[in-house]
Structure 1
């Protein structure tokens, strides 16, 4: 399927679970024809149960409902949770259902990390928000800061076609999206002024499409670049574009985790601070709670929202999806949100605060330079597999399915 800029779309920014969950649940529950949903994480908490009710409402209205969850990210859904869906006609797909070894999950690499919803080929949602209660403020200090977008317009048909292709299952096992078997994009009416590009990352023909679009946006920047990304440890080429943009007078701002959900996240990003600050890149750490967003903007029109982090997992291993947007109104809306974060919940990092010797900085810089130049190709050496999609039968929970992958695959594949 051609990846191309599509005109005539409308984008609505949704911040955190408080805005995202009510809206997406309402749209799903009122579906007339179909719901296609992909998510990395689905937990059986108050958010997961609310999603389940919305899916059941759609199925009872006669809509065709397909959901895909990642076997690593959503490992412990109960028999009752799954069977209630499948008995109502919902098809539940599990990506890469790996077996456990000594109680540990083996499907660590190359996860299905996308978060996509398409309803009735009229609306779509893309972003970084999973279906779990830790995306709500009442979860407490560990609640995540994140973003998604609601999409209307012709680009929805292209997202829908991708979603259908991605859940194709055949006798040889699911491998890569097969667009010849997916429905052709419908001609949808114009809904707004935004031009949009839908991109995905896989381990086949689209390994670096999202990263290349990031680099292009940065390379063409004239005024500002703002990137808010939860897991930041990009490759050499993207860092080089950031430094070059800053040195030619573009205001380059990074919003990274100050209170990370995993300590290694901050450690990895902080190793890059000196290198970036020397090029006058401004770095803010978001300190109110864990940052989980994957958004960026350039100048006054370019923006992106999606599931892709800027780290080795997202750039070299995981299956991801982002939408890139050319729209002045949306860019301004995202800019206002990120500016508010910087002003009220962030600490700007100053070069003099970094306590490290010049000797250590030179040694670390040498190793970082060579690691960053090569890690995408090194990551490709990690355990690989032909990605497989399993359709759960009624009563087959994700936990049980992990224990006997071959049995469920043979009995439940359609």
Structure 2
């Protein structure tokens, strides 16, 4: 029986962090204050620009005797640069690659099941969860320098969820070690479970006006076993209960039938539904496969705003000014059917108001609202690209034994 959406638990302190310009300083401060362990899990670790500052912080922690363990994904980060492999070995910083690509690459069944989570736990006291990779806001590995920063969010968390985050990274490290994928196994205890973080200290302080205290929150972990639908189910429940407004910002938005019907139903019962989506071309399949679903949404009165200044990588939502989520999961089949994802769900008016304010500003000042009439007049070549993208996406899912209707 698949897991139900976990209940929200009180007693959390949350700080919303926008982009690497806010996330990296908070992360580095926590790493520099670490006394026993730093556990970091990310899809992409890119050492360009400010990404290198995070790497240096990990190195500093390792050199002062902190247990530092890093998990990266085999597609997002297939290898570490030789310079950093040497520095991590000397520190030491232990690192592993989740599911490295073999000879057939992504054509091999199962290789689309990626580790897309972005989690970090420091001394068991402070945790981070969101959508931001270790990647400079002004750099894209495929497109080069960016004129404006990409839009994405993360959370700094204190409270009961931190131990859940830590246990998640512990399990993942142990599974990788068990199948012999450990890349740096020379240190004692490398194939053992991570030791309990003895001698934990309080997390480093953050500005009090940026912290939302005593917040109810839950950690949603999507995997390919019992938690296959937990993130989608949480979205559907919140959308179904919405009375006033739904704001969703999502990078790769290719919703399945249940999600489309839920959004259309909400709009038709008078709920204001606003989507902030990727407006710049990044990847062929994700960009064009999303377009065919816009028609039904626009006809139902859903507002679609395309983010224009840079790439949109946010995976967040705010509903009725109370329910919110920040995490790594897109609303597309790669996230909802295949990848390991992590989202935090929050019920708190203060936190929701802060996130809503940023999304509204992005829609009003950084987005371009889609015109329903112009959408219907899009040229035949664009429609052909959309059909091709959907065919490719469905074929790739079929290889994985999945359907997404």
Scaled to the shorter chain, the TM-score interval is 0.7 to 0.9
> What's the CA shift for 1:314?
0.5
Unaligned runs of at least 5 residues, structure 1: 175-180, 358-364, 383-414
The corresponding residue for 1:21 is 24
- Picking from 61, 73, 76, the partner of 1:58 is 61
The corresponding residue for 2:320 is 299
The corresponding residue for 1:160 is 166
> What's the CA shift for 1:155?
1.5
Change (3 A) 1:75 1:376: closer
Aligned runs of 1:281-300 on 2, under 5 Å?
A: 281-300=302-321
- Picking from 28, 33, 37, the partner of 1:30 is 33
How many angstroms apart in 2 are the aligned matches of 1:4 and 1:379? 35
Is it true that 1:381 corresponds to 2:401 in the alignment? Answer: yes
Contact map agreement 2:37 2:197 (CA 8 A) in 1: no
The corresponding residue for 1:411 is none
The corresponding residue for 1:140 is 146
Aligned runs of 1:4-403 on 2, under 5 Å?
A: 4-101=7-104, 108-135=111-138, 139-141=145-147, 143-169=149-175, 171-172=178-179, 192-356=213-377, 378=398, 380-381=400-401
> What's the CA shift for 1:61?
2.8
How many angstroms apart in 1 are the aligned matches of 2:148 and 2:77? 19
Number of residues of Structure 1 aligned to a counterpart in Structure 2: 368
> What's the CA shift for 1:23?
1.5
TM-score by length of 1: 0.80
Unaligned runs of at least 5 residues, structure 2: 182-192, 203-211, 379-385
How many angstroms apart in 1 are the aligned matches of 2:281 and 2:147? 11
For residues 142-181 of structure 1, the C-alpha deviation after alignment (integer angstroms, 9 at most, x for no partner) is: 742111111111211111111211211454558xxxxxx7
Q: After the TM superposition, which segments of 4 or more aligned residues of structure 1 sit over 6 Å from their partners?
A: 103-107, 181-189, 374-377
Contact map agreement 1:38 1:67 (CA 8 A) in 2: yes
SS in structure 1 opposite 2:213? Answer: coil
Change (3 A) 1:185 1:32: closer
Change (3 A) 1:119 1:44: same
How many angstroms apart in 2 are the aligned matches of 1:116 and 1:27? 13
Contact map agreement 2:78 2:97 (CA 8 A) in 1: no
Aligned-residue CA RMSD (Å) = 3.5
Change (3 A) 1:300 1:375: farther
